[in-house]
Amino acid sequence: MAVNLSGAPDGQVRPLAMAAAADRAPPRRHPVLAWLSRAAAAAFLPSGLARRFARTLIGLVVFTFLANGAVNMVLSYDEASASAVHVQREKALAAAERVAQFIGEIENQIGWTTRAEWARLDLNQRRYDLIRLLRQTPAIMDVLYIDADGREQLRLSRLEPDVAGGGADLSADPRFTQAIADRVWYGPVYYERGSEPYMTLAIIHAGRRPGVTAVSVNLKLIWDVVTAIRVGETGYAYVTDATGRLVAHPDMSLVLRGTDLSHLPQVARAVRDAQGDDIAPGNSVRPDWSTVLSAYATIPRLGWLVFVELPRREVLAPVLVTLYQTLILLGVSVLLALLLGSWLVRRMVVPIRQLQAGAQRLGEGDLRQRIAITSADEIGALAHRFNVMAARVQEAQETLEAKVAHRTEELAQSLNELRTAQDRLVQTEKLASLGQLTAGIAHEIRNPLNFVNNFAELSVDLLRELEEALAVAGPLLDAALREEIAELAAMLRDNLGRVVQHGRRADSIIRNMLAHSREGGGERRAVDLNAFVEEALNLAYHGARAEKPGFNIALEKHLDPAVGQVELYPQEFTRVLLNLFGNGFHAAHAKRTRDAAAEFQPTLSVTTRALPSQVQIRVRDNGAGIPDAIKARIFEPFFTTKPTGEGTGLGLSLSHDIVVKQHCGMIDVVTEAGNFTEFVVTLPCTGTPPDGREA
């Protein structure tokens, strides 16, 4: 489709420069080009409401199409991969079945030479039977009959002279030993003169002294089967033996070189899987290490593996088509978004700039400035509010000084109150620091004080022993000396008594200081959980009825007597229960108010349950439930779904911290939008059960 942008008639070309020279007028851009340039400027220039609006619109379009394209590509790739693997598996199974059928037919043809009555025929008759076997089965290249003693009796070949009664000792040959042991022996693959693959098949005869018929089978049919398998454009199939060695491949040179593919991940997994190992799926590659999708099947009785592989780049073809479609749609959508954004921006920016100019003049002191209202939309309403504001500012100009003085006085009073509160806060912080300092000093003083008290008491005991020793040695000492020692001992006993007395007093003072420094801490104690929950429920219920005169709700209590006592912080945990009960009351009552259905009965159910080493509290209401979109955010601080003024958004956040951080428990929510909400609080059971035994 051609578009004429020059303004000339169809079939003629009139460049803008030539038109300007001919008309002697400034060049004019085509309206479409001007529109696109304005939209592009609005989208990519770094500032302005128009730029942000255009960027947002384009960003939304780009994000939507990219997300949709990514999902489509992932789904397309998964579908193509699953379909390709399914087709590959079916072809691998079909090829494995055909190879197994080929080997089975050869076994059936050999079977009539292994019957018990065949042993009663003379050697010539047996030779004729083997010749007939070669004629009826083209895949057999030579046939060998070995008697029960392991001696070669007949050897017939398509390429070499026949041998009758050769008598070669083959008793140790695998064709004889393995056939006798396993009744049927499938030999390894080998190559005659480096041309085509062959395999030896040996079958034991029936009878008491059985012989063995061994044939060399041309496996070219397997190569034909593999070559005929096609998957996609470059996919192909190949066959390996039980060890991973290549048996058939479209590239015969790889087969002739006896290539071992057991190092490839998919072949290694298939070999280990055939051996009974537990194998996890992984990547698949070709010998050139290009990634492929691979499927395999096991050929019955032979244990060989048929692999069918398709390069991943072919699987990615529909994904690339989806990508190209998404990019084309994205380009078209961005262009449409540019055009639409330009139109919307022009509708919005011009009135906004008028408001901006009016606000600037008003700020410069022109209080008579007014905006002409030309529309009844939001911008017109904004212009009306601007005019009202300008009128009020003009009206308030005369009393501005008085209002400023009044506000200044209020601010000064608020500042004084703030300073007073700050002083109280500083004093409280100082007292708290002093309490910590007091506790630290008391701990430091208590240790040497204990030493003083202990050594004072010990010194009293030593003084008593000294007096007893003086009493024993009394007659040997001078009377004056004995009297002086007694006086000194008495003074020392009195001093030690005073030391002990004042040491005990100091110890009492230190204990009081420590007790004072610990005041205000939370008390963790064992409480009867059922009675505690019931008391909190009654408190919340009567509080709700006092707050809302028309409030009514049915209470259901299912309290497990086996719960017993639980250790917790009663004051803090009461806040948790009151928050949960209050939220349940609000949700049920709100649903009753909104639906106004006479048959709806607001109900709050409280259940306690004893678990192994835990207790559980369930609070369930039949309110409107919590939508999935906000369920994950209900424990965030300041997040609430209640109307403005009815909630702070801190109740569940504080409850979560009290349960999880302070009580080492868990709090979960189970909800169904429109039907119910249930909070489940789980606490460790560290109290005493009703029977008095420790939990």
DSSP 3-state of 383: helix
Is pLDDT of 163 > 90? no
The pLDDT mean for the chain works out to: 76
Q: Over range 362-377, report the average pLDDT.
A: 69
Is pLDDT of 103 > 70? yes
Query: Taking the CA of residue 19 as centre, how many other CA atoms within 13 Å lie in the half-sphere pointing to its CB?
Result: 13
With pLDDT > 70 as the criterion, what percentage of the chain qualifies? 77
Rounded Cα–Cα distance for residues 484 and 25 (Å): 137
Rounded Cα–Cα distance for residues 243 and 262 (Å): 7
Q: Does domain 525-684 have CATH number 3.30.300.30?
A: no
Spatial contact of 152 and 167, defined as CB atoms under 8 Å apart: yes
Q: Over range 40-57, report the average pLDDT.
A: 59
Q: Is the dihedral of CA 142, 143, 146, 147 positive or negative?
A: negative
The CATH architecture one would assign to domain 112-218 is 2-Layer Sandwich (3.30)
300 confidence band (pLDDT: 50, 70, 90): confident
CA distances from 475 to 7, 469, 471, 481 (A): 148, 12, 8, 11
Stretch among 188-202, 583-597, 605-619 having the lowest mean pLDDT: 188-202
690 CB-near residues (< 8 Å, 6+ apart):
561, 562, 564
Rounded Cα–Cα distance for residues 321 and 283 (Å): 25
522 confidence band (pLDDT: 50, 70, 90): low
pLDDT digits (tens, 9 = 90+) for 228-280: 887 777 788 888 888 888 888 888 778 777 788 888 888 888 888 765 443 33
pLDDT digits (tens, 9 = 90+) for 486-508: 788 788 878 878 887 777 767 76
70 confidence band (pLDDT: 50, 70, 90): confident
Residue 136 burial (CB < 10 Å; 0-12/13-18/19+)?
exposed
Stretch among 88-102, 113-127, 275-289, 513-527 having the lowest mean pLDDT: 275-289
Q: Over range 335-343, report the average pLDDT.
A: 74
Question: Would you state the structure tokens that stand for residue 21, as one six-digit string?
Answer: 């020279």
Q: Report CA 374 to chain centroid distance, whole Å.
A: 55
Q: Over range 629-639, report the average pLDDT.
A: 80
695 confidence band (pLDDT: 50, 70, 90): very low
Is pLDDT of 662 > 70? yes
693 confidence band (pLDDT: 50, 70, 90): very low
Q: Report the pLDDT value the prediction gives residue 504, as an integer from 0 to 100.
A: 73
Q: Over range 613-636, report the average pLDDT.
A: 88
Spatial contact of 183 and 114, defined as CB atoms under 8 Å apart: no
539-544: which pairs have CB atoms within 8 A and are 24 or more residues apart?
A: 539/578, 540/577, 540/578, 540/581, 540/582, 540/585, 541/581, 541/585, 544/582, 544/585
Is pLDDT of 691 > 60? no
Q: Report the pLDDT value the prediction gives residue 692, as an integer from 0 to 100.
A: 46
Q: Report the pLDDT value the prediction gives residue 435, as an integer from 0 to 100.
A: 58
The model carries a pTM of 0.40
pLDDT digits (tens, 9 = 90+) for 189-238: 877 766 677 888 898 888 788 889 999 888 877 777 778 887 777 788 88
Q: Over range 381-387, report the average pLDDT.
A: 76
With pLDDT > 90 as the criterion, what percentage of the chain qualifies? 7
459-462: which pairs have CB atoms within 8 A and are 24 or more residues apart?
A: 459/492, 459/496, 460/493, 460/496, 460/497, 460/500
DSSP 3-state of 457: helix
Q: Report the pLDDT value the prediction gives residue 25, as an integer from 0 to 100.
A: 43
